[in-house]
Amino acid sequence: MSEKTQVRLKQVAVHRVGNKAKDEGVLVSRELVDVREEQLSDLLLTYFLSPFKQEEFFRFTHTSDLALNEMFAYAALMFAEPEKFHTYSVHILNHLYEQSDHPKVKSGELYVVYFSGCVMADAIVDAIGIFKSENKDTFLTFRDEADDLRVDYQFGVNLKGVDKGCMIFNVEAEDGFRVKLVDANSTDAVFWKEDFLNVAELKDTNFNTKTALNLCKDFSEEVFARTESKKAQVEFISRSVDYFSKSDTFDLEEFTSSVIDEPETKERFKNYSQAFAEERDIEGFTDFAINKNTVRNMKRKFRNFIKLDTQIEIKFSGHNPEQSEQYVERGFDKERGMHFYKVYFHNES
Q: Summarize pLDDT for 95-135 with one digit per residue, the tens.
A: 999 999 888 888 999 999 999 999 887 889 999 999 999 88
pLDDT at 168 > cutoff 90: yes
Position 222 scores a pLDDT of 83
Contact 193, 55 (CB under 8 A): no
Helices 230-246/252-259 angle, 10° precision: 130
Q: What is the mean pLDDT of residues 63-86?
A: 96
> Beta 26-27 vs 164-169: how paired, if at all?
unpaired
Position 2 scores a pLDDT of 47
pLDDT tens across 324-348, in order? 557 777 788 888 888 888 888 888 7
DSSP helix/strand/coil, 273: helix
Q: Is the pTM of this model over 0.85?
A: no
Distance CA 243, CA 235 (A): 12
Residue 23: pLDDT band (50, 70, 90) is: very high
Looking at the chain, which runs of residues are DSSP E strands? 8-17, 26-27, 58-60, 108-120, 123-133, 137-145, 148-156, 164-169, 178-181, 199-201, 249-251, 287-289, 305-307, 313-315, 328-333, 338-343
Nearest 10 degrees: Cα torsion 304, 309, 312, 318: 0
Position 319 scores a pLDDT of 47
Position 287 scores a pLDDT of 86
Q: How many CB atoms lie within 10 A of CB 87?
A: 12
Name which of 194, 191, 14, 184 is nearest 86 in CA terms: 14
